[in-house]
């Protein structure tokens, strides 16, 4: 719909005549009684103004000029002024005043209807072009806003993507570093375990042979004790490197802390005093002992690094009950009964910005080049996976306290105690026809196992590589049990077992490994007729496990 033309001609019937003349060509008009009414009409869309000179002179032009100067940039409203009858030169003298109205056209008398209609139609065409410009400008502005919005959104998306990429790159670098450390640690532990296997195995055989010589037996026993300590150290290394299958069990934290107190003191050095406060009547908990040991050792090393000039390291255990109101900055803690392991040092402490990020994945509180350790984020993840929680308090210059909450477990006492060595069963002549195939690439270990099993009356076949073992399995020789190392050249022990059972269905298998990198060999994944032992294996343990497998016990 075309906007109206505002008319201000209060003298006589001029306004009505203008309306009638413009109605003939289909143009809409709106008659204004005075100048304020005309200015109010400019608040809406208007095609043009038709004003009589007399009306402007009487009312004054300043209010109208102010309204016209306030037009938006696209608008240049046409103004038609009907000049008064009289001296033409006088009208020309007022032209300067009329120019202040902007897009003004003077219509002198006598004014014919056709001239007024033509001038109004010309003003309409000019105004319609301005409206089209307004629409285009609005479209351009909307497009510009949309473009700026898209640019801002894409910029934010790119910034987020770059931040995520940087985080991913940092996480990858950290993961690669930990993987390299794990491989190095696991490889060293594997070779070390093979050496311990030979030493401890021969010491066990020697101890059996010297049972009547107490003087020599005492020396052998001391050597075995030292070997067992070395084996425990190897287990710590493997657990620390997360390269051994670990399983939760009913655990006595007091016994664990007491057993590790010596190792902790050695790790932190003589300048740091280690105190333990073990609660009486401590509940048992359900956790992975190796993980708890690794966490405790790692926290002790962190405390040592925070106390270069010495200090106090306190390890406490206690029972605690948490209710629904307990929470911390890392999230809600499930209410319940927990066993608390708390480690406190008098070191340098952490500033608030470091403390805030202490449990973030891949964030380390140690300077670059001073090692990474287990990491507080892994400690927190281990606690949550165990159904517990971890919390940390620290202030610069006032030390750090790390609390590990592990859920109470009503388990059987002694579930976490080490299994006593089983006396080697006496030779059973009725079973001398049982044949065992032993596959081990370490010659000294192979020699030890063959001798230990032959000493029990078994017929033992041996192979130093998988290919030789497969040739034996493909023969007609009867085989009752396969004993194989996991890490074999060219083929894993599990692959060899699959080949063996393909050739001899139902064959019993005993895996022995010093480097349990193979997650597929975790105890939960072993099927019937299968057992696994971790090096170093005591000769008596090997013999009893073999006997149990041959008797049909794979539990």
* pLDDT, tens digit, 9 for 90 and up, residues 64-73: 999 999 999 9
Kindly tell me if the per-residue pLDDT of 347 is higher than 60.
Answer: yes
Give the C-alpha separation, 364 to 374, whole Å: 9
- pLDDT mean across residues, the chain: 82
Max alpha carbon distance in the chain (Å)? 151
Residues 68-85 have a mean pLDDT of 90
Residue 466 shares a structural domain with residue 358: no
End-to-end CA distance of the chain: 92
Residues 204-226 have a mean pLDDT of 81
| Alpha-carbon distance values, 477 to 195, 473, 483, 508, 550 (Å) | 32, 8, 16, 15, 17
Is residue 544 in a domain?
yes
Residue 375 shares a structural domain with residue 514: no
Residue 449 shares a structural domain with residue 344: no
Domain boundary among 71, 87, 111: 111
Domain boundary among 111, 144, 174: 111
Q: Percent of the chain beyond pLDDT 90?
A: 43
Residues 119-146 have a mean pLDDT of 94
Is residue 486 in a domain?
yes
pLDDT range class, residue 179, cuts 50, 70, 90:
low
Which domain, by its residues, includes 498? Answer: 435-551
pLDDT range class, residue 379, cuts 50, 70, 90:
confident
Give the C-alpha separation, 432 to 255, whole Å: 43
Tens of pLDDT along 457-515?
A: 999 999 999 999 999 999 999 999 999 988 888 888 889 999 999 999 999 999 988 76
Kindly tell me if the per-residue pLDDT of 330 is higher than 70.
Answer: no
Is residue 240 in a domain?
no
Residue 285 shares a structural domain with residue 399: yes
Is residue 129 in a domain?
no
The tally of domains found in the chain comes to: 3
Give the C-alpha separation, 231 to 199, whole Å: 11
Is residue 526 in a domain?
yes
515 near 234, Cβ under 8 Å? no
String of b and e for 222-249 (b: at least 16 CB within 10 Å)? ebbeebbebbeebbbbbbbbbbbbbebe
Residue 474 shares a structural domain with residue 529: yes
Q: Which of 239, 330, 336 is nearest to 289 (CA)?
A: 239
234 near 193, Cβ under 8 Å? yes
Q: Which of 309, 225, 315, 217 is nearest to 265 (CA)?
A: 315
* Least confident residue range of 228-232, 331-335, 426-430: 426-430
Q: Where are the alpha helices (DSSP H) in 287-399?
A: 289-306, 352-356, 376-385
Tens of pLDDT along 9-45?
A: 988 888 999 999 999 999 999 999 999 999 999 999 9
Is residue 182 in a domain?
no
Residue 383 shares a structural domain with residue 498: no
Give the C-alpha separation, 237 to 189, whole Å: 7
Q: Provide the pLDDT for residue 370.
A: 52
pTM value is 0.44
Residue 383 shares a structural domain with residue 512: no
What DSSP designation does 103 have? S
| Residue 101 belongs to domain with CATH number | 3.40.50.2300
More confident residue, 107 or 85: 107
Is residue 147 in a domain?
no
Is residue 275 in a domain?
yes
Residue 470 shares a structural domain with residue 532: yes
Kindly tell me if the per-residue pLDDT of 374 is higher than 50.
Answer: no
| Residue 397 belongs to domain with CATH number | 3.30.565.10
């Amino acid at each position: 719909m075309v906007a109206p033309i505002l008319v201000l001609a209060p003298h006589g019937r001029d306004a009505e005549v203008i309306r009638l003349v413009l109605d003939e060509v289909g143009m809409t008009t709106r008659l204004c009684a005075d100048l304020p009414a005309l200015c109010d009409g400019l608040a809406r869309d208007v095609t043009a103004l038709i004003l009589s000179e007399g009306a402007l002179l009487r009312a004054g032009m300043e209010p109208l000029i102010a309204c016209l100067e306030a037009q938006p940039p696209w608008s240049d409203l046409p103004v038609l002024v009907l000049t008064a009858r009289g001296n033409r030169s006088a009208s020309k003298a007022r032209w300067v005043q009329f120019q202040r109205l902007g897009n003004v056209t003077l219509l002198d008398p006598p004014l014919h209807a056709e001239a007024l209609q033509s001038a109004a139609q010309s003003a309409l065409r000019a105004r319609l072009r301005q409206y089209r410009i307004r629409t285009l400008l609005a479209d351009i502005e909307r497009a510009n806003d949309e473009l700026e919005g898209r640019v801002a959104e894409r910029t934010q998306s790119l910034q987020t993507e770059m931040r995520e990429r940087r985080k991913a790159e940092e996480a990858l670098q950290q993961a690669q570093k930990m993987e390299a450390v794990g491989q190095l640690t696991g490889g060293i532990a594997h070779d070390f375990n093979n050496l311990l296997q030979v030493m401890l195995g021969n010491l066990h055989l020697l101890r059996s042979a010297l049972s009547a010589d107490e003087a020599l037996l005492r020396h052998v026993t001391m050597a075995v004790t030292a070997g067992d300590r070395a084996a425990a150290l190897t287990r710590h290394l493997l657990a620390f490197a997360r390269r051994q299958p670990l399983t939760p069990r009913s655990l006595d934290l007091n016994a664990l802390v007491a057993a590790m107190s010596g190792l902790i003191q050695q790790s932190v050095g003589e300048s740091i005093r280690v105190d333990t406060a073990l609660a009486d009547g401590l509940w048992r908990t359900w956790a992975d002992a190796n993980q708890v040991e690794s966490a405790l050792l790692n926290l002790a090393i962190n405390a040592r690094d925070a106390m270069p000039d010495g200090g106090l390291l306190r390890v406490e255990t206690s029972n605690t009950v948490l209710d629904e109101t307990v929470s911390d900055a890392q999230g809600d803690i499930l209410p319940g009964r927990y066993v608390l392991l708390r480690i406190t040092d008098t070191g340098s402490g952490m500033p608030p910005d470091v403390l805030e990020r202490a449990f973030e994945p891949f964030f380390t509180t140690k300077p670059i080049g001073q090692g990474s350790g287990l990491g507080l984020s892994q400690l927190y993840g281990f606690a949550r996976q165990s159904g517990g929680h971890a919390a940390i308090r620290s202030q610069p210059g006032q030390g750090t306290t790390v609390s590990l909450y592990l859920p109470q477990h009503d388990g059987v006492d002694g579930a976490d105690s080490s299994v006593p060595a089983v006396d080697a069963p006496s030779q059973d002549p009725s079973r001398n026809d049982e044949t065992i195939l032993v596959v081990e690439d370490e010659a000294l270990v192979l020699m030890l196992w063959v001798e230990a099993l032959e000493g029990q009356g078994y017929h033992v076949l041996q192979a130093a590589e998988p290919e030789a073992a497969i040739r034996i399995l493909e023969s007609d020789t009867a085989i009752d049990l396969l004993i194989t190392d996991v890490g074999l050249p060219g083929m894993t022990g599990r692959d060899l077992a699959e080949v063996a059972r393909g050739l001899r269905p139902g064959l019993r298998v005993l895996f022995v490994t010093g480097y349990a990198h193979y997650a597929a060999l975790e105890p939960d994944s072993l099927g019937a007729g299968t057992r696994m032992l971790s090096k170093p294996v005591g000769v008596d343990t090997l013999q009893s496990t073999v006997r149990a497998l041959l008797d049909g016990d794979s539990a």
